[in-house]
Amino acid sequence: MSIFVDETTTVVIQGISPTSQGLFHGLRNKAYGTKVVGGTNPKRGGEVIEGIPVYSSMAEAVKDTGATASFISVPPRGAADAIIEAAEAGIAFIVCITEGIPAQDEALAYNRLVREYPGTRLLGPNCPGIISPGKCNIGITSGDIALAGGPVGIVSRSGTLTYQALHELSQQGIGQTTCVGIGGDPVPGTNFIDCLAAFEADPETKAVMMIGEIGGSEEERAAAFIADSMTKPVAAYVAGVTAPPGRKMGHAGAIISGSQGTAQAKMEALSAAGVFVTKNPTECGEKMVAIVRGLG
C-alpha cells in the first residue's frame, strides 16, 4: 500500500500559468501518471493550459473535478491564503512547496486548519512533496529515482536528502511504499510522528528510513514515539553534525539555539529508542538495505 496518496488521488495545481513552476512540476507529475485534473488562477478561469483546465477558484475546481488533493506553488505572500482556500473547498490533502512563507502566516494557517478543517492534511510548506512510486507524485521529486514495490517508507526533513534516500535504495533494488518530504520550516503541517504512525499502520511497509536535521525537537519527539509505538525497524541519519550554533543552515527551522536542536542530541535520543543511527546518508541507505534483506 501507500500512505496519504495513491493511484486514485486527483490533483489541482494552485497558481497555474503558462510560465509558472506549478505548471512545470505539475506536468512532470502528470507525465509520471498522477491524475492532474485541473489548475486554478483567478485571472485565467476558463482557459486550458497544456491540456489542463483552469478554474478561477478552488471551489469551482473541486465542484467540477471532484479533486481530493492540491499542489500549491504560489509566491510566499499568497501561499497561506491558498492553503485555506483549498481546505475550504474540501481538499483532503494539500502539498505546499512554497519557500519563504513568513512563520507567522504559517502558524496562522496551520492553527486554522487544526481548528476548522480537521479532515485536511497539509504537507509542507517548503517541502519537496510526496511520491508513492508507480501510483502518485505530487511536488518536485523526480519519479526516475523512485522504485515501486516497497517495502520501505521514507520520511525526511531535508529535500536534497529525500532524493538521495530514494536513489540509495533504488540503486540496490529496494522499492519504496511512499516517500514523504515533510520540509524543515518551523511550522510543518505534517511531522515525523504523523508519517511514522501511518507507516506503522501500513501492512506493506516493513521498515522506515528517517532523515532528520538540526533545529527544533521533532526528532526527539519522533524517538519517543518510536520507542512507545513502533514495531517496525527504523534507520536514521541526522544532518548537521558540524553545524555551528546560532547559524541557520538551509531550512528556516534548521538552527541550533544553545544546547537545543543539535544533531548529536537527536542521534542520542533516536539511538536510545532503538533506531539504527548512521553517520551519513549512504551508510543509512546501506543499513536499510541490510535490514530489508534481513527481513527476508
* Cβ-contact 208, 201 below 8 angstroms: no
90, 123, 156 - which closes a domain: 123
| pLDDT, position 150 | 86
234-239 and 151-156 as β-strands: parallel, antiparallel, unpaired?
unpaired
CATH of the domain at 269: 3.40.50.261
Residue 2 counted as domain residue: no
Cα separation, 279 vs 263, in Å, equals 11
| CA–CA gap between residue 179 and residue 289 (Å, rounded) | 16
**Domain that residue 86 falls in:** 10-123
Please give the positions annotated as active site: 251
Do 92 and 21 lie in one domain? The reply is yes
Q: Which residue has the cell 543539535?
A: 262
Cα distance between residue 263 and residue 266, in whole Å: 5
Instruction: State residue 240's pLDDT score.
Output: 76
Give the per-residue pLDDT at 161: 95
Q: Are residues 109 and 167 in the same domain?
A: no
Within a domain: residue 131?
Answer: no
Count of C-beta atoms within a 10 Å radius of residue 237:
29
Name the domain count of the chain. Answer: 2
Domain match, 29 and 165 both:
no
Asked whether residue 229 falls in the same domain as residue 89, the answer is no
Q: Is residue 1 part of a domain?
A: no
User: Does one domain contain both 117 and 236?
Assistant: no
Asked whether residue 4 is assigned to any structural domain, the reply reads: no
Please indicate, yes or no, whether residues 153 and 105 belong to a single structural domain of this protein. Answer: no
- Mark which of 92, 123, 154 sits at the end of a domain: 123
Among 91, 123, 155, where does a domain finish?
A: 123
Query: Which grid cell is 46?
Result: 476558463
pLDDT along the chain (296 residues), means of 10: 96 97 97 98 97 98 98 96 98 97 95 97 97 98 96 96 96 97 93 98 98 91 98 95 57 50 91 97 96 90
Does residue 253 share a domain with residue 157?
yes
pLDDT number for residue 254: 47
- Domain match, 90 and 173 both: no
Both 112 and 148 in one domain: the answer is: no
133 in any annotated domain: no
91 and 49 share a domain? yes
DSSP 3-state helix, strand, coil percentages of the chain (rounded to 5)?
A: 35, 20, 40
Examine residue 149 and state whether it is found in any structural domain, yes or no: yes
Chain segment 230-263, per-residue pLDDT in tens: 999 999 999 977 556 555 555 545 444 445 578 8
Specify whether 81 is located in the same domain as 152. no
**pLDDT tens digits, residue range 42-64?**
999 999 999 999 999 999 999 99
What's the pTM? 0.94
Do 149 and 80 lie in one domain? The reply is: no
Place of cell 537527536: 266
Is residue 130 in a domain? no
Q: What is the pLDDT of residue 186?
A: 86
CATH number, residue 59: 3.40.50.720
